[in-house]
Amino acid sequence: MKLNRYFFLLSLIFLFITPVIPGMVIIKPFEGYFIEPNKLAGAHTLGWGGTFSALMTGQDTLQKNYFKTLNQLQERTHHPYKIFWHEEEAPEYIYRLLKGTTPNDILLEEVIKKINESAHIEQKELMKSLAQITFDPKTNAKNMQLNHDAIKLSKKLTQKGHRVIIADNYSGEAADRLRKKFVDDLMPIPMMISGEIKTIISPEFYKKLFAKFNFNANECILILTEEHYKPYAIEAGIPAARIIMYKSGSSISDTERLLKKQFHLAF
C-alpha cells in the first residue's frame, strides 16, 4: 500500500512540475500551466509570430504534439494553461489555433509574409495582423487577389520583352508554393527569395537584389504593394519617380495605363 502511494505521489510530481516533453517549460505556480513560447520553438520563434509560423508551416510537427499533449493534460486535470510572451498573454487566436483551428493552406504565404515583416511592426500590431489574416476570409481573399493580379501583370510585361523580377520577403517554402501556383508558365522570370540573400525588406534587400540580377537602380521600375517599403527602395538608390504603387483594389489596367503614361511602356 505504501509503495502504491509512493508511485501515485511520484506521478503527480511528474505531471505538474516536470516538462511534459524535453524542451518544454511548464510550471504550475497557480491553478494553471504557463508556457514561454521561446522555450518551445527555439530559433524558429519571433514572438507569437515565430510560434505561429512553426506551427502553421508544419516544419515542427513536434510542437503540434506538444500542444496536443497540453490539451489532453488540461482535459484530465481540469487545469487551464496560459501562454505568455514577455509577460504578455497570447491573443485568443493562438489558443484557437492550438485547439485545432487550423487555417486554410492558402493563408500561409501571407501569414509568413507578416511574420517576416515583424521587425517593422509593433508586437501588438503583428498579433492583430496575423489574427486578421488567419481568420478573416475577406482579408485573405483580397491579399490573394493582389498576388494573382501582380503575377498577371508580370506575365504581360514579360511577353512584351520587359525583364521582370518577382521579389518579396516570403520564406523559401512559401515562395516555392507561390511559384508553383502562379508562375510556372511564366518562366524564365527570375524569382528572388529573401532567404537566398539573408535579409528582410530593407535598403540592403534592394541593393542585393540589384547585384544578384545585375540591375541598374536608376533604370529599373519598381512596382510596390506596400507603402512602407518605399523609403527603403529610395535609400537603396531607386529614384522616387520610378516607383509606383499597386494596391489592393487597383486594377491591372490602371497600372498598365500608369506604366504607359509615365514610362512609355508598350503592352
Phi/psi at 31 (nearest 5 deg)?
-100, 55
Mean pLDDT computed over 47-52: 42
Q: Mark whether 66 and 187 lie in a shared domain.
A: no
Q: Mark whether 131 and 167 lie in a shared domain.
A: no
Q: Mark whether 52 and 163 lie in a shared domain.
A: no
Assign 26 to helix, strand or coil. strand
User: What cell does 97 get?
Assistant: 489555433
* CATH code for the domain of 234: 3.40.50.1000
Residue finishing a domain among 92, 115, 135:
135
Residue finishing a domain among 90, 106, 135:
135
Domain encompassing residue 224: 144-263
- Domain total for the chain? 2
Assign 21 to helix, strand or coil. coil
Q: Mark whether 191 and 250 lie in a shared domain.
A: yes
Q: For the chain, report the end-to-end CA distance as a whole number of angstroms.
A: 87
Q: Mark whether 172 and 116 lie in a shared domain.
A: no
pLDDT band at 99 (very low <50, low <70, confident <90, very high): low
Separation CA 101–CA 135 (nearest Å): 9
Q: Mark whether 77 and 183 lie in a shared domain.
A: no
Q: What is the mean pLDDT of the chain?
A: 55
Q: Is the CB of residue 228 less than 8 Å from the CB of residue 169?
A: no
Q: Is the CB of residue 48 less than 8 Å from the CB of residue 130?
A: yes
Report pLDDT digits (tens) over 241-254. Answer: 888 876 655 566 77
Separation CA 214–CA 206 (nearest Å): 12
Q: Mark whether 9 and 116 lie in a shared domain.
A: yes
Task: Determine the pLDDT at residue 261.
Answer: 82
Please indicate whether residue 62 or residue 256 has the higher confidence score (pLDDT): 256
pLDDT band at 93 (very low <50, low <70, confident <90, very high): low
Task: Determine the pLDDT at residue 92.
Answer: 62
Q: Mark whether 36 and 118 lie in a shared domain.
A: yes
Report pLDDT digits (tens) over 112-153. Answer: 455 455 544 444 454 444 444 444 455 545 555 555 666 677
Residue finishing a domain among 135, 160, 187:
135
Separation CA 75–CA 173 (nearest Å): 35
Mean pLDDT computed over 168-176: 46
